[in-house]
């Protein structure tokens, strides 16, 4: 990138898919700001970005808090410049059968995974529309399309994010801002390591490629979507799941 380096904001970047995405975007020449819910997490992000020679850093962000979002956006814009790439990756699960699901298990997931898109994306739009260039990538899940037992909250949040993606893509198209979703299947991260061996074997049986995906494989797709050459892809949900679900 010969021109001034663009700033990419990646939420939930301390581990798993988010970390791989932050590292990918750093390698692609963006100044990367990664966020984590704890100061320790933010520190860890700063360390790996520094090790990669990136001038970005980690910041502590609670995507379920309006105040936290505006504070982080303010300080990162002052320190670097307004982010032109946003990867909404931060997400949680609170699995339970709906018949047993507590109200807060439902609302925590919706707030962190879906309402956060309203907060964080809105805070980044001004910079992107002004620049007449922007990339928003929402990390969703195959569960948003297929459903999964015990994940009605999570599936609702991810399917909601995909609808949000399509609507926002229509709003921002005239400003050359693209908005897409990437829907990973079964990826080798802490989130999937929590599953029992039985659940894991059952899942693997449904995947034609017969293995888990690697976070780097998701990151490569996100990196592509954030590049200049991907400028004609918008409003799309790209599935990456080893063939477990074919849309």
Partner 1 sequence: MSSIEERVKKIVAEQLGVKEEEVQTEASFVEDLGADSLDTVELVMALEEEFETEIPDEEAEKITTVKLAIDYISENLA
Reduced DSSP (H G I as helix, E B as strand, rest coil) percent helix, strand, coil of the chain, to 5 = 50, 15, 35
| Binding range to partner 1, per CB under 8 A, among 91-99, 140-148, 168-176, 233-241 | 168-176
Candidates 174, 196, 208, 246: give the one binding partner 1 (CB under 8 A). 174
Query: Applying CB under 8 A, does 132 fall inside the site for partner 1?
Result: no
CA neighbor of 177 nearest in space, from 222, 219, 137, 120: 137
Query: Applying CB under 8 A, does 94 fall inside the site for partner 1?
Result: no
Confirm whether residue 37 is marked as ligand binding: yes
48 catalytic residue (yes or no): no
Could you give the C-alpha distances from 182 to 41, 58, 118, 119, 146, in angstroms and in order? 24, 23, 17, 19, 15
Contacts of 93 by beta carbon, 8 Å cutoff, 6+ apart: 109, 151, 154, 191
Candidates 171, 193, 231, 247: give the one binding partner 1 (CB under 8 A). 171
Minimum Å distance from CB 173 to partner 1? 10
* Choice among 48, 80, 118, 154 that is catalytic: 154
- Give the x/- contact pattern for partner 1 in 31-60, rule: CB under 8 A: ------------------------------
CA distance 179 to 226: 10
Confirm whether residue 156 is marked as ligand binding: yes
Considering the complex, state which of residue 128 and residue 155 has its C-beta at the smaller distance from partner 1.
Answer: 128
Helix (H, G, I), strand (E, B) or coil at 2: coil
Query: Applying CB under 8 A, does 15 fall inside the site for partner 1?
Result: no
Query: Applying CB under 8 A, does 102 fall inside the site for partner 1?
Result: no
Query: Applying CB under 8 A, does 129 fall inside the site for partner 1?
Result: yes
Evaluate whether 59 touches 40 at the Cβ level (below 8 Å): no
Considering the complex, state which of residue 102 and residue 126 has its C-beta at the smaller distance from partner 1.
Answer: 126
Q: At what angle do helices 215-225 and 16-27 cross, to 10 degrees?
A: 50
CA distance 107 to 119: 16
Binding residues for NADP(+): 12-15, 37, 89, 154-158, 187
Active-site residue numbers? 154
Interface residues toward partner 1, by CB under 8 A: 126, 129-130, 171-172, 174-175
């Amino acid at each position: 990138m010969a021109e001034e380096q663009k700033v990419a904001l990646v939420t939930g970047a301390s581990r798993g898919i988010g970390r791989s995405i932050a590292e990918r975007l750093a390698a692609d020449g963006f100044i990367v700001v990664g966020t984590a819910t704890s100061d320790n997490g933010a520190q860890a992000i700063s360390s790996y970005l520094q090790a990669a020679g990136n001038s970005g850093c980690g910041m502590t962000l609670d995507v379920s808090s309006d105040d936290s979002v505006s504070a982080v956006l303010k300080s990162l814009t002052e320190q670097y410049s307004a982010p032109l790439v946003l990867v909404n990756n931060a997400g949680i699960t609170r699995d339970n059968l709906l018949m047993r699901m507590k109200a807060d298990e439902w609302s925590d997931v919706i707030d962190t995974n879906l309402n956060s898109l309203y907060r964080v994306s809105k805070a980044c739009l001004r910079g992107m529309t002004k620049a007449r260039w922007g990339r928003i990538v929402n990390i969703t899940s195959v569960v948003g399309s297929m459903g999964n037992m015990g994940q009605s909250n999570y599936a609702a949040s991810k399917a909601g994010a995909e609808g949000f993606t399509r609507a926002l893509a229509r709003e921002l198209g005239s400003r050359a801002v693209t908005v897409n979703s990437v829907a990973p299947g079964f990826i080798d991260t802490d989130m999937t390591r929590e599953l029992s061996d039985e659940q894991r074997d059952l899942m693997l049986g449904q995947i034609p490629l017969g293995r888990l995906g690697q976070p780097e494989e998701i990151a490569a797709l996100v990196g592509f979507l954030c590049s200049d050459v991907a400028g004609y892809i918008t409003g799309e949900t790209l599935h990456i799941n080893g063939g477990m679900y074919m849309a």
